[in-house]
Amino acid sequence: MDSSQLIVAREASKVRFQNGDMDFVLNWTIDVSQSVGMAPSQAFHALRDVKDGDPVGWGNGFRLHGEYNAARAASFAESGNSEVAGQFNLVALYGYRAALQYTNPLSNDFATVLERMERTFARGTELLGIPIRPIEVPFEHTTLAGYLLEHDHQERPTIVMVGGGDTARKNLFYFAGFPGWKRGYNVIMVDLPGQGAMLNGGLPFRAKMHDSVSAAVQWLETNAAVPTGELTIYGVSGGGWISAQAVAADPGIKAWVAATPIVDIAKMFLRDMGAVLRAPRWALTSYLRLSQRFNTASQINLNKYASPFGTENIVTGIGEIIDTVRPIDLTGGDLPSLFLVSEGRARKSSAKRWPWVTISPSAAFRFRWSSCQSPVALTRTVS
């Protein structure tokens, strides 16, 4: 597993590892720590003996980190210190979540670590008194697993939190659930097709992801304890594309936050994965099979990338999306929006003329869509 095996383009700057994929995930783990769970020093401690590009060491380090903090949580709970016990459960939760990043999704270990993650999440939120409950949203032939965080019987603004491909509702909790709880928002977090619990539920990632978002919004309107306040959708990673679809389709959404907005995911895939996607399909299939046979890390990454699409490999899955998806038409829309784009990504977008979206401000962080065929033009970037 070295930099030449990167499947998706990553950041140019490195934190600890030269391997781009592993360093990207470390960045993500540290980002979680800024909201909830482990401190950055705990993440580095879990990786203290891990060699660059070693997926087994990564998984073992964070799994042991989760077990250690789960034991500390139990000890504090026995002594009657519920608040500290709750916090340590959340530290354990995101240790287990980090371990899953380099655990083969088809292995028994994955199911074991996932169960521990579910248990520490339930226990941690209960001990901290976070008003969150599991929900099931009817959709097609099954239900979408999720959580609803409701403070009380007072009407409050509500956030619909949407992740991308490699995500689950536990991830959505650190993006919006925990911060929303601290700031008085209600939050709904649902595993959409190709995400979390739906990986094995027969619902793969698809071209029309907004249908599942609409199902979650309809469920909320029917089942919330009080009428839903103003509805904001917040999309991260691939959720920037899913949320763009939802904004175009659902007039009930009154504001949009995205990190970052994506209106043409086909062009994004071709930009970030062009070398892989342009290779002859037969040659690429042979390479992927050979890589999986001799490289454990590659096998784990390729299985994780392919799982959301429900296909044999990631290239087949993305190819099907590219063949069917169309750019999202946001022309004429007007709603309060906030787009978070790193300075590096913004520079790269302008230099490469990445056709995401043009933004013309009509007020502070209020944008009118004028064209989707030009590079990003932001009045403010957030690094």
Which pair of structure tokens corresponds to residue 194?
Answer: 């190709």
Question: So where are the chain's domains?
Answer: 1-129
Q: Does domain 1-129 have CATH number 3.90.1150.10?
A: no
DSSP-derived secondary structure for 178-247: HHHHHHT-EEEEE--TTSGGGGGTT----S-THHHHHHHHHHHHHHSSS---SEEEEEETTHHHHHHHHH
- What local confidence, expressed as pLDDT, does residue 318 receive? 80
pLDDT value for 346: 54
pTM of the model: 0.83
- Mean pLDDT by runs of 10 across the 383 residues of the chain is 49 80 88 89 95 91 97 98 97 95 82 92 96 96 94 92 88 92 94 85 86 96 86 93 94 91 86 68 62 59 72 76 86 82 56 38 32 31 31
Q: What is the pLDDT of residue 307?
A: 75
In degrees rounded to 5, what are phi and psi of residue 367?
-125, 145
Which residues, other chains included, contact 115 with Cβ-Cβ below 8 Å and sequence gap of 6+?
A: none
Going by their DSSP bridges, the two strands 334-339 and 366-371 should be labelled as antiparallel
